[in-house]
Structures are given as structure tokens and as C-alpha cells.
Amino acid sequence: MVHIKKVGSKGDLKKFVKFPFALYKDSPYWVPPIIKDEMESFDETKNPVFKNAEAQFFLAYKDGKLVGRVAAIINWLEVKEQDLKKMRFGWLDFVDDLEVSKALLDKVAEIGQEHQLEYMEGPVGFSNLDKVGVLIEGFDHIGTMITWYNHAYYKSHYEHHGFVKEKEYLENKFLAAKADPKLFYKANLLIKKRYGLREMNFEKSKDIMPWVDKMFDLFNNSYSRLSSFVKITDVQKAYFKKKYISFINPEYIKFVVDEQDDLVAFAIVMPSFSKALQKARGHLFPTGIFHLLKARKESKDVIFYLIGIRPDFQNKGVTAIIFNEYHKTFSQKGIVNCIRTPELEENVAIRQMWKHFDPVTHKRRRTYRKDL
């Protein structure tokens, strides 16, 4: 029999965070989080997402052994402002036992029904900047710090329990050297001249900070039309600015502005920290921080994390400016692989944007839905 226990102490939360370390201890593809950061992201006093969302965390035990975990999440901005009566769930991990996965999912459904929500969807995080989707293809590729990795049996568990596909996400990568500058150099010059645009590059993080709020505003504006989009609040902007922006290489953040210095487009790329995180084994100290700092400086793989273009400039070739700037940066640093974050299968525009780079879809992931 499976016993579900609600996380009610710091010790329980640490068990919640550390459970995948045991589940994936033999996997060369799983990328562990930093335990301290993961715990802080679940702390209502530290993560501002909890101003508009609530979460309960659960552990599953069978025969006295920890065998699974899940986070049950309600994003009230989504429920009240978008009228999406959705029960979210994420951080769902379990051993290959249908009784265990059913008990965890049933607990999420119970909470959704208590709040009179209409359906549940997952795995998803609190917002659009969190991890999303269960991996259904590409199990032999190393994960990234911004995606979940999971065993191949997860998909069959969802479907056995009556869940159906809600959204599908593609993960693509390409060789940076295949990015022929002829494809965008001339277009970059033409677009800048036609619309009075210019690129902005940075050498220091402090120079980026005055632009970060505008960047997140543009992000909200750019993606608001996509299904299930939940805007980033002002409090979250301040949180992400403090926690993440200063750690991203400033040369990997590119802006495009118009003649009035209004932000037209932005893009964020990050070094791949996957192998460094595997070496860190969940801890920054005593040696984990050195692995991360080394990767920040020397990694030859990068993650194309975010790109946003103001709606009135979409489909006008502004990406040529961004690609031209990244080509120069990648060439200087000897970057080999550019890996894109999960993109909605329905987002045809984003696929068109990358078509000249000969991208390869190396992973697929999916969220699943079940009516309550």
C-alpha cells in the first residue's frame, strides 16, 4: 500500500528535493539541481511566485521506502484572470510502479476538485519560466539545467492512468559553425537601415540591469498570445533580476533598440552547465562553484534560452540582427553546439526563424491533461 505524506518540515522538503538523486543515480543523462537553490524556489518567503500561486508538496512511501514525489500547484493569475480552471502539477517523479504514480496523481486531483477546478495538467512549474513537460523522446541526450529529465516509463504511466496529450514541445540543436553569416549579415544591415534599429552588446552585468524590467515587459508582450501563457509580475521581475541576470555572461545577452532607444527585441543565451552540475552533485561547496564558474567561462555548448520580439516588429527580419551578433560572439568563443529550450509544437513562427541553421529535433516532451 502506498502512503502519501504532505511535506511539512524542512527535513521533508529536503527529502522531496533529493529524491531524484537516488532515482537517477546511475543515469549519465540526468542533470541534478543545486539543492539549496531548489529548496529556496519552494520557499514561500523567498520565491515571489507564491504571491499569486500556492503549492503543496507530497512524498510517496511504500513499505517504508520513499518511492515518489509531486508538487500540486494552483496559479491564481491563471485561474482568475485567464479563467483557466487548471490544477497544475510538477516535479513528479516515481519508481516504475503504477500504484505509486496513481496515488500521487490522485492526490493532485483531490486538491483540484476541492478548489472546483476543471482539469489538471502537467508536468509544469509555477510559471512560463519554469521547467515543463515529461520527456517522451531523446532519453540518450544529456539534460539541461532548465529541463526535467525522466525515465522512459513515465509516458506509459500517464497514459495508463487516463491522461491525454495536452501540449507537445520540441527541443532542437544545431552546430554553431553551420550558421552561415551570409544568411543574415546583409539582411542585418538592411533591417537596421530600414527601421532605424541598432544592436546593443554588453561587457558588464551592471550595464544590463537598467534594461531588465523592459526586457521582461517585452517578454510578456511577445508571448501573450501563446496558450497557457502566464505573465511575469513586477515582483518576479525583481527576483529573476537579482538571482539570475548577474550570473549570465553579459556578452550572451543581446538587445535591439529603435531610434528612441525603446527595446524592440532581446535574446538570452547561457553556457551549458549540465556537466558542471553533474560534477557538483547538488552542492556549490566546496568544489561545485568552481565547476560552474569554469563552465561559465569555457563551455563550448550554449543554451538559447529566450528570445522576444515586439509584436509590431515580428516577421520583419529583426532576428537577422540578433543572429549576426551571436555569430560574432560564438566565433570568438569557439562555440560548437547551440541547444534550444523546449518550444511549443504549435509555434510555427519559431521553427521558421531557425530553418536556415539545419536544426535537429533531438528531444520531445509533452504535458498531459485529465479532466476533474
Residue 51 sits in a domain whose CATH number is: 3.40.630.30
Q: Are residues 317 and 228 in the same domain?
A: yes
Q: Are residues 19 and 131 in the same domain?
A: yes
Q: Are residues 178 and 126 in the same domain?
A: no
Q: Are residues 345 and 249 in the same domain?
A: yes
Q: Are residues 37 and 115 in the same domain?
A: yes
For 226, the grid coordinates are 501563446
Average pLDDT over residues 252-278: 96
Asked whether residue 275 carries a pLDDT value surpassing 90, the answer given is yes
The cell 560574432 sits on which residue? 328
Query: Which of left, alpha, beta for 261 (phi over 0: left; psi -120 to 50: alpha)?
Result: left
Range from 129-133, 144-148, 228-232, 254-258 carrying the lowest mean pLDDT: 228-232
Nearest to 132 by CA among 230, 16, 266, 10: 230
Average pLDDT over residues 236-264: 90
Asked whether residue 227 carries a pLDDT value surpassing 70, the answer given is no
Q: Are residues 136 and 221 in the same domain?
A: no
Q: Are residues 103 and 202 in the same domain?
A: no
The string of pLDDT tens digits covering residues 339-364 is: 999 999 988 888 888 888 899 999 99
Instruction: Assign 232 a pLDDT band (cuts: 50, 70, 90).
Output: confident
Q: Is residue 209 part of a domain?
A: yes
Q: Are residues 320 and 182 in the same domain?
A: yes
Please check whether residue 368 is in contact with residue 165, taking contact to mean a CB–CB distance below 8 angstroms: yes
DSSP string covering 144-209: -TTS----TTHHHHHHHTT-EEEEEEEEEEEEGGG--GGGTHHHHHHHHHHHT-EEE--SSHHHHG
Q: Is residue 371 part of a domain?
A: no
Any idea how long the chain is?
372
Q: Are residues 239 and 141 in the same domain?
A: no
Boundary residue ending a domain (119, 143, 169): 169
- Which run of H or of E encompasses 178? none
pLDDT at residue 188, as a whole number = 95
Q: Is residue 337 part of a domain?
A: yes
In whole angstroms, how far apart are CA 81 and each of 76, 174, 367? Answer: 8, 38, 22
Instruction: Assign 228 a pLDDT band (cuts: 50, 70, 90).
Output: low
> 3-class SS at 153?
coil
Asked whether residue 40 carries a pLDDT value surpassing 90, the answer given is yes
- The domain total for the chain is 2
Q: Are residues 85 and 229 in the same domain?
A: no
pLDDT at residue 41, as a whole number = 95
Boundary residue ending a domain (169, 186, 215): 169
Asked whether residue 255 carries a pLDDT value surpassing 80, the answer given is yes
Contacts of 345 (CB under 8 A, 6+ apart): 167, 168, 169, 170
Q: Is residue 277 part of a domain?
A: yes
Sign of the dihedral through C-alpha 333, 192, 172, 178:
negative
C-alpha–C-alpha distance, residues 118 and 112, integer Å: 8
Q: Is residue 344 part of a domain?
A: yes
Sign of the dihedral through C-alpha 186, 187, 190, 193:
negative
pLDDT at residue 355, as a whole number = 84
pTM beyond 0.75, yes or no:
yes
Average pLDDT over residues 104-125: 98
Within its chain, how far is the Cα of 292 from the centroid? Answer: 18
Asked whether residue 312 carries a pLDDT value surpassing 70, the answer given is yes
pLDDT at residue 329, as a whole number = 95
Nearest to 265 by CA among 230, 217, 330, 227: 217
Q: Are residues 65 and 144 in the same domain?
A: yes
Average pLDDT over residues 129-141: 95
Expressed as residue numbers, the domain containing 56 is 2-169
- Which run of H or of E encompasses 361? strand 360-371
Boundary residue ending a domain (130, 145, 169): 169
Q: Are residues 234 and 142 in the same domain?
A: no
